Amino acid sequence: MLPKADLHIHTTCSDGKLSPKEAVEVAKEKKLTSLSITDHDTYKGFFEAREIADELEIELIPGVEITSAFGEKEAHLLAYYFDPDTNYLEDFLSSQRSARKNRIKGIIQTVQKAGLDVEYDEVWAEANGANIGRPHLARVLVQKGYVSSPKEAFIRYLSDQKLGSIENSYPDYKEVIRIVKNVGGACVVAHPGKMYSSKEMTAFIEAGIDGIECIHPSHNYALQKKYTELCAENGLLMTGGSDTHEGKDAGYMNLGVVTIAYKHIEKMKKMTEQRKNIVEIKN
């Protein structure tokens, strides 16, 4: 069996249901070679999972999914192989967490106007100390009987289309790319799907993005082919992952199913090693 990896999962450190240690255990069960925990705007899970990853011989790649502003849109950028021991990146992500709190408050105000009785404190309690986000609000809406599932919550109330324009204080995507490179990491556009036009993807490339997440549960074959070809044409890294949020009690989990070949990890590792030799790593 060829070695494979999952470069996109979420844990209880943000809006996932697996603990970081459980994520590594599942990765081992699924016979993965490498795993990257990419929680929203935090890489706390990396430190929690590092010891068990060593024990189970799973290569744990430092990762984080960073929220940024892309014009009127919210763009998610994945960072990999950065130096996890620098204060520079952690200080930046601390400000991100404040931005996340402010944004969820704006989202709650929007659903309140739609007639739903929900308060920030309820969503904060559901997050239980993790980086707060829309999935936590979705779970509260399920608990209160407004919807039957988190999926229905997003369809009816929490999609970008339903929410419309909500003010946020996230940094510009160009700034995020610069910050990731300053700690020797690779910066990748997450799950582009049908979100961006060709012109917008060109903007990411011109800003210095290192790669594109080509393999994702939301990408059909045509989209995978489209972004794989875009990577080949522009010399970009190709990444992929399951974007797992489910826990062990879920009937089905994409972790271990939606994967990327290890040869792409090797390319990323080589590129970031070269970058660390060139840039002055910010501390």
Which one has a higher pLDDT value, 63 or 281? 63
CATH number of 4-93+168-278: 3.20.20.140
Mean pLDDT of 112-138: 89
Distance CA 109, CA 118 (A): 9
Burial of 261-275, coded b for 16+ CB within 10 Å and e otherwise, reads ebebbeebbebbeeb
| Of the candidate ranges 69-73, 170-174, 259-263, 266-270, the one whose mean pLDDT is the lowest | 69-73
Which one has a higher pLDDT value, 274 or 1? 274
Return the pLDDT at 167. Answer: 67
What DSSP assignment string belongs to 232-254? HHHT-EEEE---B---TTSS---
Residue 148 corresponds to which amino acid? S
Cβ-contact 253, 26 below 8 angstroms? yes
Cβ-contact 150, 135 below 8 angstroms? yes
How does residue 10 score in pLDDT terms, banded at 50, 70 and 90? very high
Return the pLDDT at 283. Answer: 67
Domain chopping of the chain, boundaries: 4-93+168-278, 94-163
What DSSP assignment string belongs to 3-55? -EEEEEE-BTTTT-SB-HHHHHHHHHHTT-SEEEE--BT--HHHHHHHHHHHH
User: Which element (helix H / strand E) includes 153?
Assistant: helix 150-153
Average confidence score pLDDT of the chain: 92
Answer yes or no: is pLDDT of 166 > 90.
Answer: no
| Of the candidate ranges 12-21, 104-113, 154-163, the one whose mean pLDDT is the lowest | 154-163
CATH number of 94-163: 1.10.150.650
Could you give the angle at which helices 134-143 and 87-113 cross, rounded to 10 degrees? 40
Return the pLDDT at 186. Answer: 98
Sign of CA dihedral 228, 264, 200, 77: positive
Answer yes or no: is pLDDT of 171 > 70.
Answer: yes
**CA 273 from centre of chain:** 22
Q: Residue length, the chain?
A: 283
Return the pLDDT at 43. Answer: 95
Mean pLDDT of 35-53: 96
Answer yes or no: is pLDDT of 197 > 80.
Answer: yes
Distance CA 49, CA 27 (A): 12
Answer yes or no: is pLDDT of 266 > 70.
Answer: yes
Mean pLDDT of 226-250: 94
Answer yes or no: is pLDDT of 279 > 80.
Answer: no
Distance CA 89, CA 53 (A): 23
Answer yes or no: is pLDDT of 91 > 80.
Answer: yes
Mean pLDDT of 218-240: 97
Return the pLDDT at 52. Answer: 97
